[in-house]
Homo-oligomer: A and B are copies of this chain.
Amino acid sequence: MTVCEPGTVWLVGAGPGDPELLTRKAEALIRSADMVFHDALVGPGILSLVPASADLVSVGKRAGRHSKDQCTIDRMIVDAALAGQRVVRLKGGDPSIFGRSTEELDACRAAGVPVHVCPGITAASAAAASLGTSLTLRGKARKLTFVTAHARAGEMLDLDWRTLADPQATLAIYMGKKAAPDLAAALVAAGLSAETPIALVENASLPGERVLRTRLGLLPLTARSALGDGPALILVGEAMAARPAPLPLRTSYTAMATSRSADP
């Protein structure tokens, strides 16, 4: 297994939250670290894998809370590596998808610090797994687009709604809970039907997970009334249509097996 070497930085994807959804490589890197800098969204189940001898530093950024700015984080991880530490920078999800990795990669490289990336499960993959559905569908959803709806307070979302309102695509919107009314209005104004199936997944993979399926027109109401304080992903498109798949009682299995084997 890959381990973190002295004087090296690894940007490690912590995945959606469930410690089981860490990669084996991420686990090995965390277990070999001297210093772990982590986002606020990385929870205790994952942080419990950090060795007792290692320093654990929260550099959490959460909307509306005081947190360390990006330059300070850059400097902290670089200085730790220059001091010879084995540095793991744990980021929620996948570092390469809305993870602001570029600043930290550039800072390490500018300082001559070897830096590597370990990928993680991104929220859209975890949400799809929880929904038991695919994000892509042959013929119906041949394109999958990720955007983030995060905008500073008072700013309008500056996204190209015309290209996003594609009935043949699945749209995964990260951090879209607060902007839900604007998102729904903009997509419908750009031509997407208010009847388009959507799913909302809050706290994907965690014990407090909530999974909701509804229609685009009901997104604002659903986001306001049915979601809590956790991170939420909004999925839009035909692939989110609920499947007619109630599970029959277990006692019917044998009968089904018999009828199946009688098929031509």
Residues on A lying within 8 angstroms of B by beta carbon are: 1-2, 7, 13, 15, 18-25, 27-28, 75, 78-79, 82-83, 94-102, 105-106, 109-122, 124-126, 128-129, 132-138, 142-148, 159-160, 163-164, 166, 168, 243, 245, 247-248, 250, 252-254, 256-257, 260-261
Contact = CB atoms under 8 A, between A and B. Distances in A.
Nearest to A99: B134
A102 B134 contact: yes
A63 to B, nearest CB: 15
A2 B21 contact: no
B114 A96 contact: no
Interface of A is mostly: mixed
Complex copy number for this chain: 2
A108 to B, nearest CB: 9
A253 B260 CA distance: 68
Contacts of A252: 112
Contacts of A98: 136
A119 B128 contact: yes
Contacts of A101: 133-134
Given A106-B243, A122-B125, 6 more contacts: A15-B23, A82-B254, A105-B133, A117-B128, A119-B125, A160-B168
